């Protein structure tokens, strides 16, 4: 999350966009995309929500190489009215929300180096495009992302960005969804990570709790390792209803009077699907 001041590079437009400059990618860049893509595409069917894998197909993302944002935008525009625009890296919160509210998804254009195969601090084009873009082809999720951007612009004026950032974190980035009796992945931070795609579904360590808007907005998150709690939605319709049928202003006021919750807290009133052992973090602390 962008808390430190960011400086707009001189080559970026006032809205922070830059040309993707697709022709500048090297064969090594494309090979890195293909390597990451193949590793995820072979394990995600059955683990990721079907809307995610459908998105890869309808957007023709199954073809080799780093996607051309202009071509992706053409396809997305016809399906849900979204575009993908390139930015140099993290952008200020307001700029980010402004783009989302206008159905533009901002994506990094650089790709990680081989040393960063499994972990990198800043989102790269694989995280941003493979992780986030497929669900933008789904009409309900597409509307949720726009509503999030609009909510962000309002939250900014109310000093409540942190609460809204938590909602983004525990849904768009690290969300799980229930389909029938099974849990599936939909968060971009999970589906773009090989390790977390296994951990989030299969490991006994993390809590898996039913989604509750106020509960999520109270909960801190960690940016340096796998999550210690995941929140499970029942459907994308449900998620959209939470954000569009509610005025968050009274909720923010209430949240200010409540304590923040730690990453591993389980409350008596939580809908606990799995109570985590937290063995993964404990082992790391030894």
Residue 87 binds: one of Fe ion, ligand HBI, none (C-beta under 5 to 8 A by kind): ligand HBI
Q: Which does 51 bind (CB under 5 to 8 A by kind): ligand HBI, Fe ion, none?
A: none
173 is catalytic: yes
- Residues making contact with ligand HBI (CB under 6 A): 1-2, 87, 90-91, 93, 96, 106, 123, 161, 165, 168
What is the length of the chain? 286
Check if 11 is active-site. Answer: no
Q: Which is nearer to ligand HBI, 192 or 205 (CB)?
A: 192
Q: Is 132 annotated as ligand-binding?
A: yes
d(CA 75, CA 232): 30
Q: CA-CA distance, 235 to 171, in Å (whole number)?
A: 11
The phi and psi torsions of 241 (rounded to 5 degrees) equal -60, -35
Distance from C-alpha of 106 to C-alpha of 89, rounded to nearest angstrom: 9
CA distance 21 to 125: 13
- In the set 173, 193, 205, 229, the catalytic residue is 173
Would you give the distance in Å from CA 142 to the centre of its chain?
13
Catalytic residue, from 51, 98, 99, 127: name it. 127
Q: Which of 73, 192, 197, 229 is catalytic?
A: 192
Least distance in angstroms from the C-beta of 266 to ligand HBI: 25
Does 127 carry a binding-site annotation? Answer: yes
- Taking CB under 5 A as the criterion, which residues in 170-209 touch Fe ion? 188
- Does 38 participate in catalysis according to the annotation? no
The verdict on whether residue 242 carries a ligand-binding annotation is no
Which residues partner with 178 through β-bridges? 183
Residue 46 bridge partners (DSSP) = none
Q: Is 62 exposed, middle or buried (CB count within 10 Å of its CB: 0-12, 13-18, 19+)?
A: exposed
The angle formed by the CA atoms of residues 165, 167 and 173, to the nearest 5 degrees, is 85
Total residues binding Fe ion (CB under 5 A): 1
Supply the minimum distance, in Å, between the C-beta of residue 257 and Fe ion. 30
Closest separation between CB of residue 188 and ligand HBI, Å? 9
Helix, strand or coil, per DSSP, at residue 104: strand
Q: Which of 99, 132, 138, 242 is catalytic?
A: 132
**For this structure, is 150 an active site residue?**
no
Residues interacting with Fe ion, by CB under 5 A?
188
Residues annotated as part of the active site? 127, 132, 173, 192
Residues at the binding site are 127, 132, 173
């Amino acid at each position: 999350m962008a808390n430190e001041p960011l400086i707009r590079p001189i080559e970026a437009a006032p809205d922070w966009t830059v040309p993707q400059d697709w022709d500048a990618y090297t064969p090594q860049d494309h090979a890195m995309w293909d390597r990451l893509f193949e590793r995820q595409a072979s394990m995600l069917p059955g683990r990721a929500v079907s809307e995610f894998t459908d998105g890869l197909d309808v957007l023709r993302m199954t073809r080799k190489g780093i996607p051309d944002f202009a071509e992706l935008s053409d396809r997305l525009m016809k399906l849900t009215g979204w575009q993908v625009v390139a930015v140099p890296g993290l952008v200020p919160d307001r700029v980010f929300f402004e783009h989302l509210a206008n159905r533009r998804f901002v994506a990094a254009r650089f790709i990680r180096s081989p040393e960063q195969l499994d972990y990198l601090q800043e989102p790269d084009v694989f995280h941003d495009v493979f992780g986030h873009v497929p669900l933008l082809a789904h009409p309900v999720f597409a509307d949720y992302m726009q509503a999030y951007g609009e909510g962000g612009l309002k939250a900014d004026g109310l000093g409540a960005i942190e609460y809204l950032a938590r909602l983004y974190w525990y849904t768009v980035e690290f969300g799980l969804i229930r389909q029938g009796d099974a849990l599936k992945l939909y968060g971009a931070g999970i589906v773009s990570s090989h390790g977390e795609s296994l951990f989030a579904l299969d490991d006994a360590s993390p809590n898996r709790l039913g989604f509750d808007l106020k509960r999520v907005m109270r909960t801190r998150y960690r940016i340096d390792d796998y999550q210690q709690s995941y929140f499970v939605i029942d459907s994308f319709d449900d998620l959209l209803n939470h954000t569009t049928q509610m005025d968050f202003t009274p909720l923010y006021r209430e949240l200010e009077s409540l304590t923040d919750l730690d990453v591993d807290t389980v409350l008596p009133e939580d809908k606990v699907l799995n109570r985590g052992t937290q063995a993964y973090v404990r082992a790391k602390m030894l």
